[in-house]
Amino acid sequence: MDATHPEGIVEDSLLAGSRFVRACLRKPVDRTPVWFLRQAGRYMQEYREVRKHHTLVEICKQPDLAAEVTITAAEKLGVDAAIIFADLLLPLEPMGLDFEFQAGEGPVVHHPVRTLEDVRALRIDRADDLAYVARAIQTVAAHFRNTLGVIGFCGAPFTLASYMIEGGGSRNYIETKKLMYREPLAWALLLDKLVNVLTAYCRLQVQAGADVIQIFDSWVGSLSLTDYREYAFEISKRLVRAVQAMGVPVIYFGVETAALLGAMAATGADVIGLDWRQPLDQAWRAVGYNHAVQGNLDPITLFAPEDVIRLRVNEILRAAGGRAGHIFNLGHGIVPGTPVENVQAVVRMVHGLGTRD
């Protein structure tokens, strides 16, 4: 029967949801929890079927469909947490910016924000329009109860501002940084408006049953440490603290952030999401052991043969060293074409090997 864990936890008794939330809070767990960034997406046949009949935004706006896609992916993979199916850019619409996803080109914002006047015109009073995301969370939370953790999410102010200003993805973030350096009033007002809307949006998600909120600052690695501190830190911290005050842990994630990890941790986020470029032990040291970490397998390693994947998974678990507060994940999202069976194999490896505290 169950063996009692030295820390007092009964092995194999934790439901996946509590295992995941406990790890976010750096409490001991019976085995390392695992989930994947972009775990619902085009690499999965079931998702492609739904996408044949609906656009991405249609799926997001129909709570039953969004919940179905979320649940199917999590159950097929056997992960410990389900991230709600939505998109980073959804809050742009109630703020007054129309966008669309163009096939093969990613998101396009039709009238990018470039001046103080543009920023002044953005609305902050319609976050309730995003209630469709909360309804999908309600369905997912009711389905899983405590058997899986339910993750809500939003973009961080810097990363969302970059889409609003550039009008889409960017390589050099020239327009974003021009506004940031040259128009301090517009920059401050834009970030302030974003945090207002994002706080209300996260509150809807938490009230609907999200156990944890992940804040995606995907493109913050384009900033130097000095510029992060000067232009993005305070506003990120405000959002992190506002969400924590709702009673849930916060995961704060970015890519190419090796130089920023200590500063990102200073926002007070419970968990820092790591990309794959730095070994996990080195990155955790930079974050500080008073935070949990999430990561950090290279998503393209999922195309490698299983023995190579196993080596990399082991390396990450060894680097985590059984310390409380490691959530296994990729260093960025699963890409189209990834073999689903390799993703499932990683779950089995982590659950089989995930070091106990």
| Site membership for ligand CP3, residue 56 (CB under 6 A) | yes
123 in catalytic set: no
Q: For tokens 């329009």, what's the residue? A: 129
Stretch that binds ligand CP3, among 16-24, 101-109, 121-129, 338-346 (CB under 6 A): 101-109
Q: Which of 5, 27, 51, 143 binds ligand CP3 (CB under 6 A)?
A: 51
51 in catalytic set: yes
| Site membership for ligand CP3, residue 216 (CB under 6 A) | yes
Catalytic residue among 43, 47, 163, 252: 163
Nearer to ligand CP3 by Cβ, of 21 and 255: the residue is 255
| Site membership for ligand CP3, residue 333 (CB under 6 A) | yes
Q: Which of 46, 75, 87, 315 binds ligand CP3 (CB under 6 A)?
A: 87
Residue 163, CA atoms < 13 Å, CB-side half-sphere = 26
Q: For tokens 């103080």, what's the residue? A: 116
> Taking CB under 6 A as the criterion, which residues in 102-121 touch ligand CP3?
106-107
Tokens representing residue 154 in the block = 């939003």
Longest Cα separation, the chain: 67
Residue 310: other Cβ atoms inside 10 A: 15
Task: Output the smallest distance, CB 120 to ligand CP3, in A.
Answer: 25
Tokens representing residue 331 in the block = 């260093």
Catalytic residue among 19, 26, 38, 312: 38
Residue 227: other Cβ atoms inside 10 A: 17
Stretch that binds ligand CP3, among 17-25, 31-39, 193-201, 265-273 (CB under 6 A): 31-39
| Site membership for ligand CP3, residue 299 (CB under 6 A) | no
DSSP letters for 68-137: HHHHHHHHHHT-SEEE-S--TTGGGTTTT--EEEETTTEEEESS---SHHHHHH---S-GGGGHHHHHHH
**What CA dihedral angle connects 312, 316, 318 and 322, to 10 degrees?**
-150
> Taking CB under 6 A as the criterion, which residues in 162-201 touch ligand CP3?
169
Q: Kindly list the catalytic residues.
A: 38, 42, 51, 87, 163
Residues that bind ligand CP3 (CB under 6 A): 37-42, 51, 56, 83, 85, 87-89, 101, 106-107, 153, 169, 216, 218, 333
